[in-house]
Amino acid sequence: FRDAMVVRKAVFVEEQGVPAENELDENDKRSYHMVAYDSDGDASEKVPIGTIRIIPGPHKSHPGEPAPIGQEHANHLKLGRWATSKAYRGHGVGRKLIDAAVEWAA
């Protein structure tokens, strides 16, 4: 989780200006967090470069929005907090994270 937060803080808080207090939420404790690393050939020097959060169901509706009919307690996964460090964008890291999350969930 700490490595996921390193990437999330760099991307969402520092780059995009999301308030730090908004970056953590009640879903983090119940979620699975995948992290991509660059080891630069040295496995002891793993650097977190990307992350994705997998939230298990059920899910609440967003404040002020009604739940879709029949989905009040939908039990599906949500993918979110998907981020790749700036230096690694355009190299397929995000795609690999999505693919890994979907494969894990299947």
pLDDT of 44? 72
**What is the rounded distance in angstroms from the CA atom of residue 103 to the CA atom of residue 85?**
23
Residue 102 parent element (H or E): helix 93-105
> What is the domain-level CATH number for residue 92?
3.40.630.30
Locus of tokens 């949500």: 78
Reported as a pLDDT band with limits 50, 70 and 90, residue 101 is very high
Residue type, 56: P
**What is the rounded distance in angstroms from the CA atom of residue 28 to the CA atom of residue 96?**
21
Count the domains in the chain: 1
Residue type, 35: V
Segments forming the whole domain that contains residue 5? 1-105
Q: What is the mean pLDDT of the chain?
A: 87
- Percent above pLDDT 70 for the chain: 79
pLDDT of 82? 95
**What is the rounded distance in angstroms from the CA atom of residue 11 to the CA atom of residue 34?**
16
Nearest C-alpha neighbor of 5 from the set 54, 59, 52: 52
Q: What is the value of pTM for the model shown?
A: 0.81
Q: Per-residue pLDDT tens for 39-65?
A: 776 667 889 999 999 998 766 666 766
Q: Per-residue pLDDT tens for 2-42?
A: 999 999 999 999 999 999 999 998 889 999 999 999 977 66
pLDDT of 46? 87
Residue 42 parent element (H or E): none
pLDDT of 2? 94
